[in-house]
Every structure is written in C-alpha cells, then in structure tokens.
Amino acid sequence: MAAAERITFADFRERFQTEEQCRAYLFRQRFPNGFVCPACGAKEYYPIYRRSLCQCKKCRKQTSVAQETGIHRTHLSPVLWFWAIYLFRNAGNQV
C-alpha cells in the first residue's frame, strides 16, 4: 500500500472544500488512467453528477466513484467524510 500523502491543514481546506472537489479526487483515485468501464472495458461515459456516478456509453452500466471505499452507499456529504478521515489521520500528530 502506498504511503499517505502529507497535507497541511490549509492545503486540505483548499483542496477539499466542495463535494465536486472530493468527487474529482475520488475519480482520479479510482480511474488514474481515465474511465474504464468495469463491465465492458469501454472508455467513454456520461457523468451523473447528482449521484456521483459514471454511466458507460456502451453498456450503460453505472459505476460509483466511491465504490470499494468506506463512503460508498452513505448519505453523508463526501466533504464530511474527507474531514473525518483527515482529522482521524492527523489525531496522533497533536501535542
């Protein structure tokens, strides 16, 4: 497993202010070389922003950017999850 990236509090606040920023980060982590449909391997998709899904243009399978993560199928904002993860990760670094 790769080592976690160190990020300052100010950088974190700037990078993950909105749901869109969090979803874009999740997309880059899930599809580092661009979207690839897990069902058919196609590379083109339609974004479904309201539900954080990618729908394959070929087979129409919908894939969540949060799939296979702890925040998949939760109803909390990704911003809240990112904050919780950041605070938990850095809790041991306090005085």
Domain that includes residue 40, residue range: 9-87
Report residue 68 as tokens: 């296979």
Asked if residue 4 belongs to a domain, the reply is: no
pLDDT, tens digit, for every residue of 6-38?
Answer: 788 889 999 999 989 998 999 999 999 999 999
**How crowded is residue 49: how many other Cβ atoms within 10 Å of its Cβ?**
9
Q: How much is the average pLDDT of 32-51?
A: 93
Reported as a single tens digit per residue, the pLDDT across 75-90 is 778 889 889 888 888 8
pTM above 0.85, yes or no: no
Distance CA 6, CA 18 (A): 20
Number of domains in the chain: 1
Decide if 25 is inside a domain: yes
- pLDDT value at residue 50: 79
Residue 70 within any structural domain of the chain: yes
CB atoms within 10 A of CB 10: 8
Is residue 63 one of the residues assigned to a domain? yes
> Is 27 domain-assigned?
yes
Q: Which two tokens stand for residue 56?
A: 């394959």
